[in-house]
Structure 1
Amino acid sequence: MAAEVDRISFLPLEIKIEILSRLRINHVVRTSALARSWRHLWTHLPCLNLSSDQDPLGNPRNDPTDTVPSSWIQRVHRLVSSLRGPLRVFQLFFSEPLDDESVLQSLLDLLLQKGGLQTLNLYFFNDPGKIHLPLFHSLKVLRLIGCHVALPIGFRGFLRLETLELYGVKISNDDLNLLLRTSNNLTSLVISNCGALENPLSVNLSLPLLRQLEFENEGFFENLSVVSSPCLEHAVIRLIDADCSSQNFAWMMLRLVTSVAMVSSLKLDFDVLKCLSLVALPFNFAIPRLRFLMFSLDVDTIDNTMATRVYDAFLWLLRSMPILEELEIELDSIEYHDQADRLAILMKELPIERHDSFACLERTVTSVTINMSSFDVTSIAWIQFFLLNAKGLELLKIGYFHGDDMPSFIEELQKVEVTSSDAKVMFFNSHTHQITNVYE
């Protein structure tokens, strides 16, 4: 029987490195035992993805005496030092308190010395202490979770940075503004639950190439607005445990929403609508390019007054969108039937009637999606509004999880007045993917 031909060993070096880059680090290192030609092949890896629940060489950390996180970082340091070529991607998941933050800083400085780093992802699930970001000249993607960040003296910016994502990062207001001001090639920006090291954060964004903005605030910002980002297309605004009854906070939300007036896609959560309902209704403004709007309603926290306020804020938004084409509504927590029944009673009192003051409903809205968990009168109220007012409506899609009440729900739905002669209503079960059509 002829010996098997070792075809893999004869592949070009670039192909073998590409194969190794798709394996876990422990499997990669083991390839050094395959043959003499493979002994140091892994040291040419351009990407490293490491987690503190494994040894840097990929072995599970089962030794109960191996509990010093700084020793683990030091072994990562030695691993990176062994690499012979530039490191393009480095990703680190670290879930333990760090007893010596200097070892982490030393690792970051080593990554700078290696050169060529394009993507840096650092995930910390316990406070690692403050780190100073080296000036990575080739960096295009930077994602940081759960760390203190400071910029070095003389920081001139990541001139090639295109994606910046900050989650739970503590950073001074001066450093955050400097980082954003010197990142003129940013196309995507996420700021989520970031806090200042002294006073609340305040940022005015002026990014010429920015296309996507996601902002999630837990009360650490006193101001965020878009001053000049002419390429901005998509914006997502969420609030978490924020004081939505605060007038100051509500004014901040109004400034932010009105400052993204040139986007074509906007996503808002329930708390943003609550804030807008406090201060926005007397003002007229326009989002002239908006074609897609998504917002959510949290029925667990709504009462009679709040239901009316949120509905009024929704109408206020709708009037500002003259070319809106697609709308998606998330009705959260409807599965709690006691809450759903209570909200159903409240929504019955809302004036679901015909409106003639919405340019988008007159001409451009063709698609509406309403996602919910189960059927109730609340859903009928929203469905009734669009069937009654959207003259060009082509598709109303209703997504749901539990369909026990569907027959009676469809019976009620067929009593609703429909303005558009082209309107189709489609039910979509998110669990079984079953589709049921009405008004075809």
Structure 2
Amino acid sequence: MGEVDRISDLPEEIKVTILSYLPTTDAVRTSVISRSWRHLWTFLTSLHAHLDSYRQSIGSTESFGRILSSFRGPIRHFSLRCFLHDSNQSCLQHFLEIIFRKCGLWALSVNCMHLPVSVQLPSFRSLRDLHFEWIDISLPSDFGGFEQLTSLKLHSVWISQRDVQLLIDGSKKLMSIELSIEHFKSPEDAAPGERPSLVCLNCPLLNSLRFDFTEKNEAQLRIISAPCLESAHITAGTMVSRTVEGLVRVGAATLNLMPDIARISHLSLNSEVLECLPFSDVEAPVPHTLPVHFRQLRCLKLIDQTCYMDETMFRVLCCFLRSMPFLENFELQCHNLGCVAERDGGPFNKYKKKVDGYLCLDRTLRRVAISMKNLRGLQDVMWMLHFILLNANVLELIEITYSNDNKVKPRILEGLCEIDKASTNAHVVLVNINDMG
């Protein structure tokens, strides 16, 4: 009995749905199956491709343009990762214009992984999700905004302050913004040396914000109005200068932003932000609290992948904890905690005792997660555990995770069990820890 081709007997719309789950190049190859499959791929509404003009992974840029033109209906989702020769950079503009003429685009994601490619962004009226990475962006003179845009992600882009402001102001439905601007392009009429860099947000529906400060682009942010903002992730890039001028400039930008995000419930900061605060210098006095109090904040995440949590940085952390009276969850991702000199009779010993002035430790902090790597052993975190366990009255869980398996001596684990706890419900969970005994 011969085999029955049941798939080819399916209704055309079902076969198109099946093709939609395949990579675009595989979907195009199904045209050789039979005459009934020859043009099915042209009815797809999503295109996800990797274009490499060096390795010709899906053919030449010209053939890819013909594939785009062959789609019969609107392309709803277009995602492209590409490596392009200098001579082929204009093809990306051509691709976007083809999609623009078809109308109906909902999601656009382009990542030029080799070097920034210049494009003038068409006014996609139905666009809901825009993600550009390593793109040199400009807007047409008649740009009218994206009426339906809810998510804007610009990572390592080149753009003028005018154009990024037009993007934001012309998208009143924005709910999520991620801005990492590699370079602010100065307008042609800018004075010599002038680099406008202030981005203002007036977004009535904005819920989530990510913004990268770097000394390289001198970017600053001002939130005019964002009543729905709940989550903010603020970073300072690794290019931040460690000069006094650099600290003051970026630190002032961060401090100026704090009143604007004081009502959020989730805050994430990287260590460079803390280091760039003017009072993080070892010679500068650390204030008792921040200039503003985060009374709505429930979750705080600090990310430190490059440096150590030393004495000064811990005083800055204490300043943050005093300014967040209702904090419930605290997460710390760090490279290391302290050093041998500090652990053995050093300044951290004064934090191994009961202290006052932390409302969140007294009333609300219930969960602490500490993730570390490249440590010598569990003893490196003992002083921090002393501080938390002795002062967090309602603590329920401390979770300690090492990125690599670490072996610790039994006496260290015994010492951990002997730490006095302010909360009788507190549990300490160790992940990726091996007992040497």
Question: Paired residue for 2:84?
Answer: 96
Cα separation, partners in 2 of 1:178 and 1:404, compared to 1, 3 Å? same
Per-residue Cα deviation, 1:97-146 (whole angstroms, up to 9, x for no partner): 33154333222111100111111111112335421000001111111011
Query: How many Å separate the matches in 2 of 1:387 and 1:277?
Result: 30
* Counterpart among 65, 81, 102 of residue 77 in structure 1: 65
Deviation at residue 89 of structure 1 after TM alignment: 0.9
Question: Paired residue for 1:69?
Answer: none
Query: How many Å separate the matches in 2 of 1:136 and 1:427?
Result: 50
Query: How many Å separate the matches in 2 of 1:191 and 1:395?
Result: 34
Letter of the 1:162 partner, please give it. T
Question: Paired residue for 1:232?
Answer: 229
Q: Secondary structure at the match of 2:185?
A: coil
Letter of the 1:297 partner, please give it. D
* Counterpart among 212, 233, 241 of residue 216 in structure 1: 212
User: How is 1:23-34 mapped onto 2 (pairs within 5 angstroms)?
Assistant: 23-34=22-33
User: How is 1:109-148 mapped onto 2 (pairs within 5 angstroms)?
Assistant: 109-148=97-136
1:207 counterpart = 2:199: no
Letter of the 1:278 partner, please give it. F
User: How is 1:135-174 mapped onto 2 (pairs within 5 angstroms)?
Assistant: 135-174=123-162
User: How is 1:288-307 mapped onto 2 (pairs within 5 angstroms)?
Assistant: 288-298=295-305, 301-302=307-308, 307=310
Letter of the 2:298 partner, please give it. R
Cα separation, partners in 2 of 1:274 and 1:20, compared to 1, 3 Å? same
Kindly indicate whether the alpha-carbon contact (under 8 Å) linking 1:98 and 1:128 is maintained by their aligned counterparts in 2: no
1:281 counterpart = 2:287: yes
Kindly indicate whether the alpha-carbon contact (under 8 Å) linking 2:213 and 2:220 is maintained by their aligned counterparts in 1: no
Q: Secondary structure at the match of 1:116?
A: coil
How many residue pairs end up in the alignment?
412
* Counterpart among 300, 310, 314 of residue 311 in structure 1: 314
Question: Paired residue for 1:396?
Answer: 398
Higher strand content, 1 or 2: 2
Per-residue Cα deviation, 1:146-182 (whole angstroms, up to 9, x for no partner): 1110011111101111111111100001111111111
Per-residue Cα deviation, 1:233-284 (whole angstroms, up to 9, x for no partner): 1111122221255212111111223321121111111111222362773654
Question: Paired residue for 1:243?
Answer: 241
* Counterpart among 412, 416, 419 of residue 415 in structure 2: 412
Which range moved further: 244-253 or 74-83?
244-253
Kindly indicate whether the alpha-carbon contact (under 8 Å) linking 2:307 and 2:336 is maintained by their aligned counterparts in 1: no
Question: Paired residue for 1:47?
Answer: 46
Question: Paired residue for 1:328?
Answer: 331
Letter of the 1:360 partner, please give it. C
Question: Paired residue for 1:254?
Answer: 255
Query: How many Å separate the matches in 2 of 1:358 and 1:348?
Result: 18
Cα separation, partners in 2 of 1:301 and 1:33, compared to 1, 3 Å? closer
Query: How many Å separate the matches in 2 of 1:362 and 1:168?
Result: 42
Q: Secondary structure at the match of 1:429?
A: strand
Kindly indicate whether the alpha-carbon contact (under 8 Å) linking 2:61 and 2:88 is maintained by their aligned counterparts in 1: no
Q: Secondary structure at the match of 1:168?
A: strand
TM-score, scaled relative to structure 2: 0.87
Deviation at residue 342 of structure 1 after TM alignment: 5.6
Letter of the 1:362 partner, please give it. D
1:37 counterpart = 2:32: no
Query: How many Å separate the matches in 2 of 1:54 and 1:178?
Result: 33
Per-residue Cα deviation, 1:350-396 (whole angstroms, up to 9, x for no partner): 54432221111111111111112343443111111110110001111
Kindly indicate whether the alpha-carbon contact (under 8 Å) linking 2:248 and 2:277 is maintained by their aligned counterparts in 1: no
User: How is 1:8-23 mapped onto 2 (pairs within 5 angstroms)?
Assistant: 8-23=7-22
Query: How many Å separate the matches in 1 of 2:349 and 2:35?
Result: 79
What's the % identity of the aligned pairs? 33
Query: How many Å separate the matches in 2 of 1:268 and 1:52?
Result: 35
Deviation at residue 82 of structure 1 after TM alignment: 0.8
Deviation at residue 205 of structure 1 after TM alignment: 1.2
Question: Paired residue for 1:265?
Answer: 266
Query: How many Å separate the matches in 2 of 1:355 and 1:50?
Result: 57
Cα separation, partners in 2 of 1:318 and 1:128, compared to 1, 3 Å? closer
Per-residue Cα deviation, 1:190-240 (whole angstroms, up to 9, x for no partner): 112432012152112111111111122332134113221111111111222
Deviation at residue 47 of structure 1 after TM alignment: 1.1
Cα separation, partners in 2 of 1:297 and 1:86, compared to 1, 3 Å? closer
Letter of the 2:301 partner, please give it. M
Cα separation, partners in 2 of 1:369 and 1:80, compared to 1, 3 Å? same
Query: How many Å separate the matches in 2 of 1:143 and 1:42?
Result: 25
Kindly indicate whether the alpha-carbon contact (under 8 Å) linking 1:277 and 1:310 is maintained by their aligned counterparts in 2: no
- Structure 2 segments unaligned to the other structure (5+ residues): 187-194, 281-285
Deviation at residue 418 of structure 1 after TM alignment: 1.2
Q: Secondary structure at the match of 2:48?
A: strand
Kindly indicate whether the alpha-carbon contact (under 8 Å) linking 2:161 and 2:198 is maintained by their aligned counterparts in 1: yes
Deviation at residue 348 of structure 1 after TM alignment: 3.2
Which range moved further: 113-122 or 256-265?
256-265
Cα separation, partners in 2 of 1:344 and 1:297, compared to 1, 3 Å? farther
Cα separation, partners in 2 of 1:121 and 1:325, compared to 1, 3 Å? same
Letter of the 1:31 partner, please give it. T
Query: How many Å separate the matches in 1 of 2:185 and 2:342?
Result: 41
Question: Paired residue for 2:192?
Answer: none
Question: Paired residue for 1:4?
Answer: 3
Letter of the 1:412 partner, please give it. G
Cα separation, partners in 2 of 1:350 and 1:213, compared to 1, 3 Å? farther
Letter of the 1:235 partner, please give it. A
Q: Secondary structure at the match of 2:210?
A: strand
Cα separation, partners in 2 of 1:222 and 1:33, compared to 1, 3 Å? closer
Letter of the 2:275 partner, please give it. K
Deviation at residue 289 of structure 1 after TM alignment: 1.3
